[in-house]
Amino acid sequence: MGKALYRKYRSRALSEIVGQEHITTTLTNALKAGKIAHAYLLTGPRGVGKTSIARILAHEINGLTYSEDPHFDIIEIDAASNNGVEDVRDLRDKILSAPASAKYKVFIIDEVHMLSKAAFNALLKTLEEPPAHVVFILATTESHKLPETIISRTQRYSFRPVPLDKVVAHLRNIASQEKIVIDNAALQLIAEHGEGSFRDSISLLDQASSISEEITREQVEVLLGRAPASQISTLCSALANRATVQALEGMRHLLEQGYEPAMIAMQISAQLRSELLEGKHVMAAEDIMSLLRDLLDVPPAHNPKALLELTLMKWSTPITAMARNSTEVSQVSQAEEHTHHAKDTVPPATRDIDTANLSEHPVVTPGADPQTAKGNETSTLEPLQEPSPTTQNEAIPSEPAKTSDAAQTVEDVSDLWHAVLQQLKKTHNTLYGIARMARPMLQDDLLTLELTFAFHKKRLSEPANEAIIAKLVDSQRGKPTRISCITVQKVSAKPVNETVATISNIFGGAELLES
């Protein structure tokens, strides 16, 4: 049986470790000066050399030539499978015995964060005052799970992801020794996929070596399950151009070829980040950042396919068109509300105005365009009584309509909702994308959110989302507020545009309100 490449090319001396010079230099100088700590803690991402350095350090502390063969005085323990308090008590019994042949008895505990709380407590006293002939080397990928009492009793060394260029150079050296013919683009892709991990990158090179005699980037992409770069570029262009149909068709085509939604989201993110760093992006930088944040939720989602589809639809929908529809509906709804409200609020004196002056004193709906007021006079004015002979030529002052203290003007509500949206964008960006489509109306302590699409109303009405919005509104107003979400019909039965048709196809016709 052949040996895996990552084991065959494992470093055997501190000088052979690549990418962790800040650690190897310190340890080498300490060993030369005879400064040996009783406990070391090695932390960092997977595959960057923690276990290799632990083994090398264990040998060099004892002045031994490195060997992969087990040594009686170098004991490796996997905390993932030996994490109970009984295992630690057994370890303490072994600590009491002196080394068999070496100067120190070294205990390497890998993935030490897996120890139970009771096991940590049992280990604590031993770490604090170990016998002079014992050295502990603890390694973990999740140092945040370690108790501070353990960390404070060790010398900590933090490992970093290996720089991409060093990984590529190391892979090229291994490929040369193994007579593997592979182009630079393929090596670059392997290193990128390894994300700074030597072990992952070398393992992938080992796997790719069986593809063909000459390995290309395209072959490595197939091996990794990555979509062709050209198709990802086309998808990103559709997002930038707000082309909903093209974006969704591009995604559907990739899924039909067998590419995973999580990988598609990762590739889109990688391209957008690259464009942003190179200054070649066509989307606004703020939009790219928000989109990247949404794409991060796709891989761990319960239904990655549905979330990716919703995310692409959200960011490819022409916002201006949707906002325009919402504005039209809002203006009509507001005008109707004012018409009904005017009957109760217009004082008797106002109703006695000379009808001859109607064209000179149009009533403007709050929030409506003054220029369009004249055309809407008949729909916004109540029928007026004929003036009596005794009052026809008298100037009768009119009193302003009175509103309750709890009522707010359109401007007040707009400012309130704008402040809520800004806070929502910082913490719940996906919810913000839907909430910004709503038109708010506040009466007393009831905030009504009018939405054009039933799908948006359904999402905002979910208890969790409604509670988030209510909390932000309460914070802005300083008192409890009830939230109500409703849908409003469009102004006229216009042909359904391409964007709306796409939304209807995705979420079902029953979700789309037509006038």
pLDDT at 495: 46
Residue 339 has pLDDT above 60, yes or no: no
Question: How is 326-356 classified by DSSP, letter by letter?
Answer: HHHHHHHHHHHHHHHHHHHHS-HHHHTS-GG
Q: Name the helix (H) or strand (E) containing 235.
A: helix 229-240
309 in a structural domain: yes
418 with 513, same domain? Answer: yes
Domain containing residue 177: CATH number: 1.10.8.60
Lowest mean pLDDT among 145-154, 156-165, 271-280: 271-280
307 with 335, same domain? Answer: no
pLDDT at 409: 53
Rounded CA separation 309/378 (Å) = 46
At residue 260's C-alpha, the angle toward residues 293 and 509, to 5°, is 75
267 in a structural domain: yes
pLDDT at 1: 54
Residue 408 has pLDDT above 60, yes or no: no
302 with 338, same domain? Answer: no
41 with 145, same domain? Answer: yes
Question: Cα-flanking dihedrals φ and ψ of residue 410, to 5°?
Answer: -60, -40
pLDDT at 119: 84
The answer to whether the beta carbons of residues 438 and 455 sit under 8 Å apart is no
Residue 147 has pLDDT above 60, yes or no: yes
397 in a structural domain: no
Residue 300 has pLDDT above 70, yes or no: yes
pLDDT at 357: 42
Question: Cα-flanking dihedrals φ and ψ of residue 446, to 5°?
Answer: -115, 120
Tell me the pTM: 0.57
Q: How many CB atoms lie within 10 A of CB 322?
A: 18
pLDDT at 374: 43
- Going by DSSP bridges, is the β-strand pair 439-443/74-78 parallel, antiparallel, or unpaired? unpaired
pLDDT at 172: 94
pLDDT at 391: 41
Of 316, 341, 371, the residue that ends a domain is 316
390 in a structural domain: no
Of 178, 205, 224, the residue that ends a domain is 224
pLDDT at 211: 86
Residue 280 has pLDDT above 90, yes or no: no
pLDDT at 57: 95
424 with 443, same domain? Answer: yes
| Among 337, 335, 409, 345, CA closest to 369 | 335
pLDDT at 490: 53
The answer to whether the beta carbons of residues 453 and 437 sit under 8 Å apart is yes
pLDDT at 485: 92
343 with 441, same domain? Answer: yes
Could you read off the pLDDT of 446-503 as tens digits, one per residue?
999 998 888 788 888 888 888 899 889 988 888 888 899 998 875 444 444 555 455 4
The answer to whether the beta carbons of residues 345 and 401 sit under 8 Å apart is yes
* pLDDT average, residue stretch 242-267: 91
334 with 454, same domain? Answer: yes
**E strand map for 103-212:** 105-110, 134-140, 155-158, 181-182
Helix (H, G, I), strand (E, B) or coil at 211: coil
Rounded CA separation 1/128 (Å) = 44
Domain containing residue 63: CATH number: 3.40.50.300
| Among 511, 512, 506, CA closest to 305 | 506
pLDDT at 411: 53
Rounded CA separation 147/116 (Å) = 11
Q: Name the helix (H) or strand (E) containing 32.
A: helix 21-32
Which residues contact residue 20 at a Cβ distance below 8 angstroms, ignoring those fewer than 6 apart? 48, 49, 53, 159, 160, 162
389 in a structural domain: no
287 with 419, same domain? Answer: no
pLDDT at 322: 44
310 with 446, same domain? Answer: no
Lowest mean pLDDT among 52-61, 84-93, 266-275, 306-315: 84-93
154 with 174, same domain? Answer: no
Q: Name the helix (H) or strand (E) containing 475.
A: helix 463-477
Q: Which residue range(s) make up the domain with 241?
A: 229-316
Domain containing residue 342: CATH number: 3.30.300.180
More confident residue, 25 or 95: 25
Lowest mean pLDDT among 327-341, 384-398, 440-454: 384-398
**434: pLDDT confidence band, cut at 50, 70 and 90?**
confident
Residue 323 has pLDDT above 50, yes or no: no
464 in a structural domain: yes
Residue 55 has pLDDT above 90, yes or no: yes
119 with 168, same domain? Answer: no
Which residues contact residue 499 at a Cβ distance below 8 angstroms, ignoring those fewer than 6 apart? 244, 317, 318, 321, 322
- For 15, counting Cβ atoms within 10 Å of its Cβ (0-12 exposed, 13-18 middle, 19+ buried), the class is exposed
**281: pLDDT confidence band, cut at 50, 70 and 90?**
confident
Could you read off the pLDDT of 359-383 as tens digits, one per residue?
444 444 444 444 444 444 443 434 4
Residue 399 has pLDDT above 80, yes or no: no
273 in a structural domain: yes
Of 202, 224, 246, the residue that ends a domain is 224
Question: Cα-flanking dihedrals φ and ψ of residue 215, to 5°?
Answer: -90, 130
Question: Cα-flanking dihedrals φ and ψ of residue 353, to 5°?
Answer: -65, 145
Question: Cα-flanking dihedrals φ and ψ of residue 173, to 5°?
Answer: -65, -45
Rounded CA separation 309/506 (Å) = 9
Residue 337 has pLDDT above 90, yes or no: no
Residue 507 has pLDDT above 60, yes or no: no
Q: What rounded mean pLDDT belongs to the chain?
A: 78
pLDDT at 396: 43
pLDDT at 351: 42
Q: Please, what is the angle between helix 261-278 and helix 229-240, to 10°?
A: 70
The token duo for 487 is 């849908």
pLDDT at 59: 95
Domain containing residue 300: CATH number: 1.20.272
Domain count along the chain: 4
357 in a structural domain: no
Helix locations, 358-428, DSSP H = 377-380, 410-427
Helix (H, G, I), strand (E, B) or coil at 246: helix
At residue 21's C-alpha, the angle toward residues 17 and 25, to 5°, is 100
- Going by DSSP bridges, is the β-strand pair 39-43/155-158 parallel, antiparallel, or unpaired? parallel
70 with 107, same domain? Answer: yes
